[in-house]
Chains A and B, each alone.
Chain A
Amino acid sequence: MHKELIWLSLPALAAPALPAYAVQYLTLEQAQRALFPEAAAFRETRILLTAEQRAAIEKASRVRVRVPELNAWRVESAGKTLGWFLLDEVYGKHEFITYALALDYSGAVRGIEILDYRETHGGEVRNANWRAQFVGKRAGAPLELDNDIKNISGATLSCKHIADGVRRLLASYEAVLK
């Protein structure tokens, strides 16, 4: 039996449209513990990259080094180096992501965790007429930015920027930490 969809037009959405959202998954300390549960100490080493190091990293990773600084922690347990914890940020067209990369003592990737995800505000609110048609009665819980936005269905951003960032960090490890 061939059945056509009955496309009911919904008169209005249940709540006003919301621009963007942000979420913190882990604090710095939580991310360190999650990636290195056995660590005794995290020794912060902030490294300023020289022009030569920057050029080497860009060449090896094919990714531009925007910030000439490496946020690294040497991870120790019982006086031995377990590996490195690197904190980094990537920016895309719509999003801003803070993530941590854990490397073991040999420089191999041990894990990646997202700390913060934030969407930037583009020109999304400009069409007042369009927005007005969605303003109606709302049902259920209050929708607060940063708090209640949990289920976003639909083409979240690709993780290309994180993949590029990881490549850049691995090249940075080779150039300055190894």
Chain B
Amino acid sequence: MNLAEIRRARPLLGTLVEIAAHGPDAEAAVAAAFRAVEQVHALMSYHDPASDVSRLNREAAARTVTVHPWTWQVLHAAREFSLASDGLFDITVAPALTRLGYLPRHADFPRASSRADWRSIELLPRHQVRFACPLHIDLGGIAKGFAVDRAIEALQAGGVTSARVNAGGDLRRFGPERETVHVRHPQWPTLLLPVIELGEGAAATSASYFALHRSGGLPCSPHIHPRTGRSLAGDLSVTVLARDCMTADALTKVVLADRHAAGAVLERFGARALVIDRDNHTGAWRLRDSTPLRESHA
């Protein structure tokens, strides 16, 4: 049976979230998938004062805060990525993003300590969280991927035969077909480059082109190197392929921060990276691939 594809888009998570599905009752499954994304948005938004993230930033340095199991799950995963990458992935870089104007200032958050890092977040039993010192977390580098995974879960529970979810470049699909994944060119973002065919699995891309600001006359991006606190800029695009989208999303930041150190981390999570960058000597654009996955992706 060849049913028409249901394809919808809504503005969520600060981007355009597109969900598409084939199969019986796809309409209802897509609606359920959007509800899952909306819930992640409500829990993990840095902007929303009522989110778990804002409650933590406001209160967790003073007292233990109980969060939704999904928030706890993301915080736990973030810790795994920080541990595996020796801090190249770090959700406590929010103050730097606020300084650069990527995140709003919340007057009621206590001032973040300059020695805070991912180790200052204590994950306690029964979904409780406490900060060892005042700090601001931002789940922008991981929650979109998590939202995509929850949407995929909802689509699978809804019985569709194939589906894909794309949250501003964090995408995941399942189903019998394979589809080409396109990546934007770092210098000409409206130019789309086909880079890989994906069957089941996730791809996430991080690049600075659309979000580029200028700070003190210099271009900067919302990608902060956790060890230097500096913004990473440059014509570079990093795509990570992994089984789930949260892993792909988080690991793009590790590859952006340090391509050489990222090898071990990618391998540990069974992931693969594709980088588009410019050759320093010739100026030519090139597409490069890390060691392929052991289990084939496509």
Contact = CB atoms under 8 A, between A and B. Distances in A.
Nearest to B284: A133
B259 A134 contact: no
B20 A150 contact: yes
A48 interface: no
Contacts of B185: 17, 124
A159 interface: yes
Given A141-B180, A155-B207, A158-B14, A7 B289 contact: yes
Interface in B235-291: 237, 239, 259-264, 266-267, 273, 275, 284-291
Contacts of B180: 14-15, 140-141, 143, 148, 151
Contacts of B184: 152, 154-155
B15 interface: yes
A158 to B, nearest CB: 6
A156 B169 contact: yes
Main DSSP-derived SS at the B contact region: strand
A152 B211 CA distance: 17
Main secondary structure of the interface of A (DSSP, over half): loop
A151 B166 contact: yes
A124 B184 CA distance: 11
B214 interface: no
Interface residues of A, number: 59
B7 to A, nearest CB: 6
Contact of B178 (A140, A148, A159, A163): A140
B191 A163 contact: no
Interface string A134-162: 10001111010000111111111111001
Given A9-B288, A18-B182, A156-B210, 6 more contacts: A5-B263, A20-B191, A21-B192, A133-B284, A151-B173, A155-B169
Interface of B: 7-12, 14-16, 18, 20, 164, 166, 168-171, 173, 178-185, 188-195, 197-198, 203-211, 237, 239, 259-264, 266-267, 273, 275, 284-291
18 contacts: A1-B264, A5-B290, A5-B291, A7-B288, A13-B193, A13-B195, A14-B180, A15-B194, A19-B192, A113-B9, A113-B10, A124-B191, A151-B171, A152-B192, A153-B195, A153-B239, A154-B206, A159-B12
